Amino acid sequence: MDNGEVARILNTMADMLEIKGDNPFRIRAYRLAAQNIEGLAEDVSTLIVQQTLEEIPGIGKDLASKIREIVTTGTFQEYERLKAQIPSGVVELLKIPGVGPKTAQLLYERKGIDSIARLEAAARANELRGLPGIKAKTEENILRGIEMLKRASGRMPLGLALPLVREIIARLRQVKGVTRIECAGSVRRMKDTVGDIDILAVSAAPGKVMDAFVALPLVREVLAHGETKSSVMTRQGIQADVLVVDPKAFGAAWVYFTGSKAHNIHLRDMAKKKGLKISEYGVFAERTGKRIAGREEEEIYEALGLPYIAPELREDTGEVEAALKGQLPDLITADDIRGDLHVHSTWSDGAHTIKEVVEAARRRGYRYIAITDHSKGLGIVRGLAAEDLTKQSEEINRLNQGLRDFRILTGIEANIRADGTLDLPNGVLAKLDFVIASVHSAFRQDQQTMTERIVRAVSNPYVRVLGHPTGRLLGEREPYDLDFDRLLDAARQHQLAMEINASPLRLDLNDAHARRAKEAGVPLVINTDTHALAEFDHIHLGVATARRAWIEKKDVLNTLPLKQLLKRLAR
DNA sequence: GCCGTTTTCGGCCCGACTGTTTTCAGTCG
Q: Once rounded to an integer, what is the mean pLDDT over residues A350-377? A: 94
Distance A226 CA to B11 C1' (A): 34
A79 touches strand B (CB under 7 A): no
Cβ atoms of A368 and A565 closer than 8 Å? yes
The confidence score (pLDDT) of residue A230 equals 94
A250 touches strand B (CB under 7 A): no
Q: Which A residues between 374 and 433 have a beta carbon under 7 A from any strand B atom?
A: none
The confidence score (pLDDT) of residue A570 equals 76
pLDDT in tens, A534-555: 999 999 999 999 999 999 999 9
> Is it the case that residue A477 has pLDDT exceeding 90?
no
Cβ neighbours of residue A553 closer than 8 Å, sequence gap 6 or more: A330, A332, A333, A336, A559
Distance, CA of A103 to CA of A130 (rounded, Å): 13
Q: Once rounded to an integer, what is the mean pLDDT over residues A289-297? A: 89
A99 touches strand B (CB under 7 A): yes
Distance A271 CA to B11 C1' (A): 15
A571 touches strand B (CB under 7 A): no
**Which bases along strand B come within 7 Å of a protein CB atom?**
1-3, 5-7, 11-21, 25-29
> Is it the case that residue A186 has pLDDT exceeding 90?
yes
pLDDT in tens, A69-92: 999 999 999 999 999 999 999 999
Distance A251 CA to B25 C1' (A): 31
Q: Position A212: which residue type?
A: A
> Is it the case that residue A379 has pLDDT exceeding 70?
no
User: CA–CA distance from A352 to each of A285, A346, A384, A501, A535 (Å)?
Assistant: 60, 5, 16, 20, 12
Q: Which residues of A352-387 are buried (b: 16+ CB within 10 A; e: fewer)?
A: bebeebbebbeebebbbbbbbbbbbbbeebebbeee
The confidence score (pLDDT) of residue A289 equals 80
pLDDT band, residue A496 (cuts 50/70/90):
very high
A30 touches strand B (CB under 7 A): yes
pLDDT in tens, A402-448: 999 999 999 999 999 999 999 899 999 999 999 999 999 888 899 99
- Report the sign of the C-alpha dihedral through residues A238, A239, A243, A249, in that order: negative
Determine the Cα angle at A545 with ends A157 and A372, to 5°: 90
Residue A278: nearest nucleotide (C-alpha to C1')? B13
pLDDT in tens, A253-275: 999 999 998 898 888 888 888 88
Residue A130: nearest nucleotide (C-alpha to C1')? B20
Residue A244: nearest nucleotide (C-alpha to C1')? B16
Distance A197 CA to B15 C1' (A): 19
pLDDT in tens, A163-181: 999 999 999 999 999 999 9
A98 touches strand B (CB under 7 A): yes
Distance A103 CA to B20 C1' (A): 13
Cβ atoms of A143 and A120 closer than 8 Å? yes
A340 touches strand B (CB under 7 A): no
> Is it the case that residue A571 has pLDDT exceeding 80?
no
Which span out of A142-156, A464-478, A538-552 was modeled with the highest average pLDDT?
Answer: A538-552
| Between A453 and A266, residue with greater pLDDT | A453
